[in-house]
Amino acid sequence: MATYHSGELAMQQRAGLTTQAEFSLGGIHGTVPPVAREFLAEQPMIVVGAADPAGRLWATQLTGEPGFLRAPDPRTLAIDALPVPEDPLADVLATAHSVRLGTIAIEPATRRRMRINGCAHRDGGGLRVALDQVIANCPKYLQKRHHRRAVIDEAGPRTVTTGRALGAAQQEAVRRADTFFIATASDDGDTDASHRGGNPGFVQVLSPTLLRWPDYTGNAMFLTLGNLLLNPAAGILVPDWETGTALHLSGTARTVWDAEEIARTPGAQRLVEFFVEAVHEVSSASPLRWSEPGYSRFNPPVR
């Protein structure tokens, strides 16, 4: 039977949402239902999160032709893809024997998404994940997009930029973002990957090493913030939907409960601050190109 860990329970209680969280617990399962198996088989991408050998968390995107995601049985997810060699998780997943993996599959065109978490090992040219959690999520704050495959002339050579702080162009990319993905883990190492969305500008760049974003009304599970309460490590993926560039950030995060600060941000129930410790940007990391967004009607205005 699904349960919440101590960090999730503490966050639910502080937010005054214990009753709603108990209801939402019914959305957490240990197996993939048939309708979800069909959903997975239609997707060209999945976002995954894991820790590197130094214990830093990263989030990245795996892609393939529809069918590269499979649920051969209700307790297993097969991913027929690995990261590009330049990816910060390339070595971790290429040699995976028992890696705690958080994943989220999204379909921007229909605003559907689901999270699947478990333990992964290398299986041929991909990964096989023994499942712990299968979580259906609501479509709030997910921008509508349609995808296509990049043609050869669009791809270009892949380049890597690393550092310990965001450069000027990277800061601007974060300010323009309407979507990012975040990987977190409990104090036991159980890893989760989640989505955050809003109108461009919802992520504030306070400095080259400090980001802040609002935590909007959600399902009251507090899977991400509950993990951060127990383990501040986090990894962020900011995708460039037009070029396929992936901006990976690793660092730590904390929840901000300051009422005056929260009141300055429309729609915010809380704020989250992310402290950048490592930057890893890969150009042409994804072969997918996406249309201009149709913004979610749930997105609060940006101050």
Query: Which pLDDT does position 139 carry in this prediction?
Result: 87
Question: The domain containing residue 96 runs over which residues?
Answer: 6-290
Identify whether 297 is part of a domain.
no
Contact between 77 and 126 under an 8 Å Cβ cutoff? The reply is no
Confidence of residue 101 (pLDDT cuts 50, 70, 90): very high
Does 183 or 1 have the greater pLDDT score?
183
Please, what's the b/e burial string for 140-176 (b: 16 or more CB within 10 A of its CB; e: otherwise)? bbbbbbebeebeeeebeeeeeeeeeebeeebeebbee
Identify whether 1 is part of a domain.
no
Identify whether 196 is part of a domain.
yes
pLDDT tens sequence across 128-166: 999 999 998 888 999 999 999 886 656 678 999 999 999
- CATH number of residue 81's parent domain: 2.30.110.10
Query: Which pLDDT does position 153 carry in this prediction?
Result: 59
Query: Which pLDDT does position 187 carry in this prediction?
Result: 96
Identify whether 260 is part of a domain.
yes
Identify whether 142 is part of a domain.
yes
Identify whether 302 is part of a domain.
no
H-type helices in 44-199, by residue range? 90-94, 152-155, 168-176
pLDDT tens sequence across 229-276: 999 999 999 999 999 999 999 999 999 999 999 999 999 999 999 999
User: What is the rounded average pLDDT of the residues 74-84?
Assistant: 97
User: What is the rounded average pLDDT of the residues 104-128?
Assistant: 96
Give the sign of the dihedral formed by CA 164, CA 170, CA 171, CA 173.
negative
Identify whether 301 is part of a domain.
no
Identify the residue whose tokens are 């037009």. Answer: 242
25 CB neighbour count, 10 Å cutoff: 16
- Three-class secondary structure of residue 301 per DSSP: coil
Identify whether 298 is part of a domain.
no
Query: Which pLDDT does position 155 carry in this prediction?
Result: 64
102 Rama class: left (phi>0) / alpha (psi -120 to 50) / beta: beta
Query: Which pLDDT does position 287 carry in this prediction?
Result: 94
pLDDT tens sequence across 33-74: 999 999 999 999 999 999 999 999 999 999 999 999 999 999
The average confidence (pLDDT) of the chain is 95
- Three-class secondary structure of residue 119 per DSSP: strand
Strand-pair category, 126-136 with 76-79: antiparallel
Q: How many domains does the chain have?
A: 1
Query: Which pLDDT does position 96 carry in this prediction?
Result: 85
Give the pTM: 0.97
User: What is the rounded average pLDDT of the residues 207-220?
Assistant: 97
Query: Which pLDDT does position 2 carry in this prediction?
Result: 84
Query: Which pLDDT does position 276 carry in this prediction?
Result: 98
